[in-house]
Structure 1
Amino acid sequence: MTNKIFMLMTFIGVPVSVIGTFMNWPSILLFILYCLTIIALSSYMGRATESLAIVAGPRIGGLLNATFGNAVELIISLFSLKAGLVGVVLASLTGSVLGNLLLVAGLSFFVGGLKFKRQKFNVFDARHNSGLLMFAIIVAFVIPEVFSMHMNDPKKLTLSIGISVTLIVLYLAALLFKLVTHRGVYQSDALSEHHDEEPEWGIGRAVFVLLIATLAVAYISEHLVHTFEYVAESFGWSELFIGIIIVAIVGNAAEHASAVMMAVKNKMDVAVEIAIGSTLQIAMFVAPVLVLVSLLFEKSMPLLFTWQELIAMASSVLLMVVISNDGETNWFEGLTLIAAYIIMGIGFYLL
């Protein structure tokens, strides 16, 4: 039933979005239409990822979901950078970290926990990811803010470029470690629980659906960016709130749908890989790439966040590390993560 609803939303939403764009419909109406269509397209990305996860395994399946899900975020951010909305881009990166660690993981743990009293996932992956999260957010994001306090703008940009290159190299090394040199070394029993399940789609169809959905999202996202300023003025929202809450939720709709779907089916290795893997990809790959790409635009983007953003991200990482390091979860831990997201959302709304 849910798939039929999303199919209807997609086949109506995409052509209507195109028509509305050319006919210059009111910005608020277009904003709502674009957001709903992106969410509907994300459901197809989630189903394709689930099929790939069954065939290729939870690590690669989760990585593919994070990559295609973050492609939406990257596309929205690129168009925002082109429009000179550096503040929105930095805020959306913050929102992605908070959204993945607190909202995506929280909903997955909560919904899955309502069906299963205890859900287990690979504790070795959890501990490996915890170290990378601590590095990516606390070392690579917080420390530069401290050093940049007494720097001029050119030096801040140089610092950001150096950090970005380092993050990209380490992220590629992390993929090499997990998928090549140490693949299967730290394997838990949970990884083989669903080996006999049949995928909904074959590999070819699943990859094709992912590509088409991503291209459609890219087109809609480009036009979504142009509605931000009008929507902000209409509702009295700040640039920070739009980036952290609105753009992040829409941009991460694919991860939301997929991770919750996996948790309901007790595939927690995939759900955790989506939530935490997506966060790592945002922090260690997407954000650095945006810094380097911004050099091509009129307004460059240094990798420097506000203290409110940094404290929120660091707190999210510490909370996730404490909750996930035992390799088990339940609905109450999920509710704790959701509560933290709500508290931070209220704070950013009132800023």
Structure 2
Amino acid sequence: MANKIFIIVTFIGVPLSVIGTLMHWSSTVLFLIYCLTIVSLASFMGRATESLAIVTGPRIGGLLNATFGNAVELIISIFALKAGLIGVVLASLTGSVLGNLLLVAGLSFFIGGLKFKRQHFNVHDATHNSALLIFAVIVAFVIPEVFTINMNESRSLSLSVGISVILIALYLAALFFKLVTHRGVYQPKVESGAEQQEEEAEWGKGKAITILLAATIAVAYVAENLVHTFEEVGQSFGWSELFIGIIIVAIVGNAAEHASAVIMAYKNKMDVAVEIAVGSTLQIAMFVAPILVLISLLFETKMPLVFSLPEMVSMAVAVLLSISIANDGETNWFEGLTLLGAYVIMGIGFYLL
């Protein structure tokens, strides 16, 4: 039923997005159309990556989901950078970290926990990812803020570029570690092999990849136009740049992995669900954010990797809370509810700012 609704929304939303853009409809109307269209397109991306996860395994499947899910936000952020909306871009990066660690993981643990009393995932991956999260979010994001207090803009940007290069190099090294040198070393014991053998992918590999690429291209077009509605919509609803970036852009931009992670958790595939939530956060912090810093060098307005105090504190708290909950390799619905509660509290705070 849900898939049929998304199909209908996609085939109506994409043409309406084109027509509305050409005819200069109200920004508020276009904003709603663009958001619904991106979410519906993201559902196709989620189904395609779910099919690929069955074929390629949880790690590569989770990585593919995070990559294509983050591609949406990367596209939105590049157009926002081009428009000079640095505050929106930094806020959307913050929103992605909070959204993945608190909203996506929280929903996954909660929905999955309602069906299963206890859900388990690879504790070795959880421990490895915890160290990376602390480095990527707390070390790499907090240090620029501390060191740039007495720096001018030029030196702040130079520090941000240096940190960005190191983050990208370490992210590529982390992928090499997980997918090449230590692939299969920390694999959990499979209790029931029959369940995996019976599972069939909805789409074949070729069809899934084609749908992923087509949906990403469509999202790129809609996202470019979505960015131009931010200012007027923000004035209409009383939303700040901070709130638009942290809540609206982050939720719309990460809709693909939101849906996929919850579906995987409901099917008790917690390795994939956790890989999507945590892997996406690592990709945002160690690849997307640094890439955006480097891309901003091509535009008139440059973006240093310096966040506001509320953004830094909220990201650090999200990392520490998610690590404390997930480090034992198992979860339940109450732990999911705790993460969701933290997300709502932070959302209220950013709204009131």
- For this structure pair, what is the TM-score category when the shorter chain's length is used for normalisation? over 0.9
| Alignment-derived partner of residue 43 in structure 2 | 43
Deviations 1:267-317 (Å, cap 9, x if unpaired)?
110000000000000000000000001000000000000010000000000
* Partner SS state of residue 189, structure 1: coil
| Change in 2 beyond 3 A, CA 1:123/1:195 | farther
Between the aligned partners of 1:190 and 1:66, the Cα distance in structure 2 is 24
Post-superposition offset of 1:189: 2.2
| Alignment-derived partner of residue 220 in structure 2 | 218
Post-superposition offset of 1:190: 4.7
Deviations 1:81-106 (Å, cap 9, x if unpaired)?
00000010000000000000000000
Report the AA paired with residue 316 of structure 1: A
The answer to whether the Cα contact below 8 Å between 1:54 and 1:195 also exists between their aligned partners in 2 is no
1:277 aligns with 2:279: yes
| Alignment-derived partner of residue 298 in structure 1 | 300
Between the aligned partners of 1:102 and 1:237, the Cα distance in structure 2 is 22
Percent identity (aligned) = 76
| Change in 2 beyond 3 A, CA 1:221/1:190 | farther
Between the aligned partners of 1:22 and 1:243, the Cα distance in structure 2 is 25
| Alignment-derived partner of residue 327 in structure 1 | 329
Post-superposition offset of 1:344: 0.2
Post-superposition offset of 1:196: 3.5
Post-superposition offset of 1:143: 1.5
Post-superposition offset of 1:194: 2.1
Between the aligned partners of 1:159 and 1:117, the Cα distance in structure 2 is 47
Deviations 1:22-75 (Å, cap 9, x if unpaired)?
111100000001000111011101100110000000000000000000000000
Between the aligned partners of 2:227 and 2:331, the Cα distance in structure 1 is 37
Between the aligned partners of 1:230 and 1:10, the Cα distance in structure 2 is 25
| Alignment-derived partner of residue 236 in structure 2 | 234
Report the AA paired with residue 68 of structure 2: F
Which consecutive residues of structure 1, in runs of 5 or more, have no partner in the other structure? none
1:166 aligns with 2:158: no
| Alignment-derived partner of residue 100 in structure 2 | 100
Aligned residue runs from structure 1 range 17-36, under 5 A: 17-36=17-36
The answer to whether the Cα contact below 8 Å between 1:120 and 1:190 also exists between their aligned partners in 2 is no
Between the aligned partners of 2:196 and 2:151, the Cα distance in structure 1 is 53
Between the aligned partners of 1:63 and 1:304, the Cα distance in structure 2 is 27
Aligned residue runs from structure 1 range 1-351, under 5 A: 1-190=1-190, 194-351=196-353
Between the aligned partners of 2:62 and 2:190, the Cα distance in structure 1 is 15
* Partner SS state of residue 302, structure 2: coil
Between the aligned partners of 1:194 and 1:302, the Cα distance in structure 2 is 46
Report the AA paired with residue 135 of structure 1: F
Between the aligned partners of 1:21 and 1:292, the Cα distance in structure 2 is 30
Between the aligned partners of 1:47 and 1:241, the Cα distance in structure 2 is 29
Between the aligned partners of 2:289 and 2:278, the Cα distance in structure 1 is 15
* Partner SS state of residue 220, structure 2: helix
Between the aligned partners of 1:58 and 1:15, the Cα distance in structure 2 is 35
Between the aligned partners of 1:254 and 1:50, the Cα distance in structure 2 is 11
* Partner SS state of residue 298, structure 1: coil
* Partner SS state of residue 151, structure 1: coil
Structure 1 runs (4+) greater than 4 angstroms displaced: 190-193
User: What TM-score does the superposition give when structure 1 sets the normalisation length?
Assistant: 0.99
Post-superposition offset of 1:195: 4.0
User: What TM-score does the superposition give when structure 2 sets the normalisation length?
Assistant: 0.98
* Partner SS state of residue 201, structure 1: coil
Between the aligned partners of 1:345 and 1:236, the Cα distance in structure 2 is 15
Report the AA paired with residue 260 of structure 2: S
Between the aligned partners of 1:250 and 1:2, the Cα distance in structure 2 is 17
* Partner SS state of residue 196, structure 2: coil
The answer to whether the Cα contact below 8 Å between 1:121 and 1:190 also exists between their aligned partners in 2 is no
The answer to whether the Cα contact below 8 Å between 1:122 and 1:190 also exists between their aligned partners in 2 is no
Report the AA paired with residue 290 of structure 2: P
Aligned length: 351
The answer to whether the Cα contact below 8 Å between 1:75 and 1:221 also exists between their aligned partners in 2 is yes
Post-superposition offset of 1:261: 0.7
Report the AA paired with residue 257 of structure 2: E
The answer to whether the Cα contact below 8 Å between 1:45 and 1:210 also exists between their aligned partners in 2 is yes
Between the aligned partners of 1:10 and 1:56, the Cα distance in structure 2 is 27
The CA RMSD over aligned residues, in Å, is: 0.9
Report the AA paired with residue 197 of structure 1: E
